[in-house]
Chains A and B, each alone.
Chain A
Amino acid sequence: MRLQPLNRFPIHSVPAGGSQETVMDSLSLKIFFQLTLSGVIVGSIYGLIALGFVLIYKATDVVNFAQGELMMLGAYICYYIITTYSVPFVPAFLITLLFSAVLGIFIELLILRPMLGKHVFSIIMVTVALATLLRSLVGLFWGHDTYRFPAPFSDKAIRVFGLSILPVELTTVLTALGLFILFYLFFKYSNLGLAMRATAFDQKYAFLMGISVKKIFSLSWILASGVASIGGVFLASISSLQTTMSFIGLKVFPAVVLGGIDSVAGAILGGLIVGLTENLAGGYLSKFFGSGVKELSAFFILLIVLMIKPYGLFGKKEILRV
């Protein structure tokens, strides 16, 4: 055998164990709060992505299965602007949003509009195709490596009452909250928001009332694409940049259904509920059922909610009369 022991390298000894005085030592209540906080953080990301689904469904009745891919593309565009043109994070982020808006218009105009009036199933299949197309295009341009996202957030955690949160996580939660309030006000008070709701309620009547349904469709794609980019940039900052991050789109689907697929409040709350359930179940039940309980718990909650409220927590009830 040719492999000789390498004695020239000193054997480092790492202090075994050492002092382990951490947040987790003192109170079991703290563990509960830390788990809750983690649930809120991941729930905010779920909520941001779920919001994209809702914005499109609300106005156009289409479930957009390319939502995860739009999110991934946004993150890659931001990464590209930052690394290639050395643009600082914030302007790069704004350019990304602009790009997403244009992309939203193009997708609606070129791909979705010709499908207007076609069977819903066909339209959904088109979005599935769009997902594959976007994922492959991103792979062609940037490859399938895993990248560290060049976000300006510090790795040092902020500590409040013994709980830890990273600056990027705090920003994500605040952004999700801000967007929720913004969209809530938008749909409640602005003319455009009301027009969108009217279109969602009944396209024909909205059209007869002088609302440009086409414009509304474009707008919903712009908003959804923008929200997706925001979610993508934050998700990439928290974890890393990779084409497979788009799969979270499907993972978030239970959150969308849970909250009700046509409700903004439902999207955010659905995301939060799924995030919280996953973390609390992972923290307290994995001892008895194994770690897999973390992923299962969301579907369990979904099952119960749909048994009681078939249209989701905040979904619009549709009664079919024959």
Chain B
Amino acid sequence: MKDQFILHACILAMVIILSAGFAYAETGVTQDTIKVGVISDLTGPAAIGGIGMADGITSFFTELNEKGGIHGRKVQAIVEDCAYSPAKAVTAAKKLMTNDQIFAFVSSWGTAPTTALFPIAEKEKIPIAPACSLSTSMYDPLKRYVFAVGTNYVDQSILIVEYILNDLKAKNPKIALFCQDDDWGQDHKNGLEIARKKYNLPPIAVESYKYDAVDFSSQVINLMREKPDFVILASAIKSGAMFLKEAYKLQWKTTFIGSNTLGLLATLQLAGEYGQGLLVLNIFAMPDEDIPGMKRLVAASEKYFGNKWKPTPEKIHPYYVYGWLNAMVFAEGAKRAGKDLTREGLVTAMEAIRNFDPEGLMGPISFSATSHGTPGFGRMTKGDVGKKKFIPLTGWRAVAK
């Protein structure tokens, strides 16, 4: 009886060992492919950016695959729509994990939808590497399986204030903020509060809006009454454009500065008169710049999407670049993790990334075991409707320490 038990145990062990030889140990990774899931807003209020982000990711991976992939494995990106809804993001994530058996998420879109995925990442130990959100809540507090790339909103607020003080030479300026009433807006508020204390500025007037609002007149009037010298617009494209239209209607003459979310040509076109010359803090390189990374991006976009993103400086927008960058950072992490790719290995490898240069598309990227966010850089630009682009006014800057 005992011998029979040992025999059965041996057969079972051999079956397990043999089957492991055929299939790779980690979910979503086989001999020649790595499956990753992309959740983006393809049909919702932020689709104008979300579609670009998804295309940026897929074009980077397609190009990478043609060059041989990562350690001989091709990256297969499966794109799902979340329409900017946290509930739909969770459904999409579950579909990607159970049906498609993905290895990791590359870019879930937006702060609120990504936040909804945190418990899943934690429980299933699946990396979101990296997320497509500039909110500090992505990595503060630190979450082992969540990374983020790009200048966060707190730093953006500080960078804008430093531009106002150092470049526009404003003395004791009164600053106001128009933002969305969620984590994103809260980040901007926190950033402005830090800058206000640091530079001893007057109190900041704040007005916020719900993401589906259609009317912004009371917000405009309230901020007008405060008579600020500068108004920071930390909003989505449509709300930012409508705010500017309303301000123009009421003949409000002040200086408006947008956060990176307004850095699309569509903002300027929708905003009408006040769109011309709008100042926007941009955090990625522009599509018409003479930078090796950008040339590669544009060439890949033309090759895989034909006319979809042409003419180039006009149609390729920061979110397209953002998607491309996120894919690049994932590829770097997966490459460093080595041939035996595992989820834990990817996390450890990404934490070891220091001063990785994304071919000039943004500042150097560094993560560590205690920090899953990147140091922030920004550049003030000015919108030019006629030339259909944003013209840089300053060089790249980091927040002054």
- A contact residues vs B (CB 8 Å cutoff): 1-7, 9-20, 22-24, 31, 34-35, 38, 41-42, 45, 139, 143-146, 148, 155, 157, 164-166, 235, 238-240, 242-245, 247-248, 251, 275, 278-283, 286-287, 290-292, 294-295
Contacts and interface: CB of A to CB of B under 8 A. Distances in A.
A312 to B, nearest CB: 23
A292 B180 CA distance: 10
Contact of B269 (A12, A148, A279): A148
Contacts of A287: 222
B251 A164 contact: yes
Given A12-B393, A139-B43, A42 B48 contact: no
Given A164-B250, A164-B251, A16 B219 contact: no
A297 B272 CA distance: 31
Given A31-B225, A144-B44, A244-B44, A22 B249 contact: no
Interface string B216-237: 0111011011010110000001
B255 to A, nearest CB: 5
Given A35-B217, A286-B218, A291-B181, A155 B43 contact: no
Contact of A282 (B168, B212, B219, B379): B219
Given A20-B227, A144-B43, A283-B222, 15 more contacts: A4-B395, A14-B168, A17-B254, A24-B250, A24-B252, A145-B48, A146-B266, A157-B249, A235-B214, A244-B212, A251-B212, A279-B215, A283-B218, A291-B206, A294-B210
Contacts of B218: 35, 38, 278-283, 286, 294
A18 B291 CA distance: 38
Interface in B15-49: 42-45, 47-48
B101 to A, nearest CB: 27
Contact of A278 (B51, B215, B363): B215
B245 A155 contact: yes
A143 B51 CA distance: 10
Interface residues of B, number: 70
A139 B364 CA distance: 38
Contacts of B245: 155
Contacts of B217: 34-35, 38, 41-42, 279
A15 B270 CA distance: 24
Contact of B251 (A6, A23, A155, A235): A23
- Shortest 6 CB-CB contacts between residues of A and residues of B: A5-B395, A282-B218, A38-B217, A144-B47, A17-B229, A291-B208
A20 B254 contact: yes
Contacts of B212: 244, 247-248, 251
A205 to B, nearest CB: 42
26 contacts: A1-B357, A3-B360, A6-B395, A9-B391, A11-B394, A16-B173, A20-B227, A20-B253, A23-B250, A31-B221, A31-B225, A34-B250, A35-B221, A38-B215, A143-B47, A144-B42, A145-B48, A146-B48, A148-B269, A148-B270, A157-B249, A164-B250, A251-B212, A279-B215, A291-B209, A292-B208
Nearest to B396: A3
Interface in B236-264: 237-238, 241-242, 245, 248-255
A80 B279 CA distance: 32
B340 interface: no
B377 interface: yes
Nearest to A135: B43
Contacts of A244: 44-45, 212
A89 B253 CA distance: 32
A314 to B, nearest CB: 24
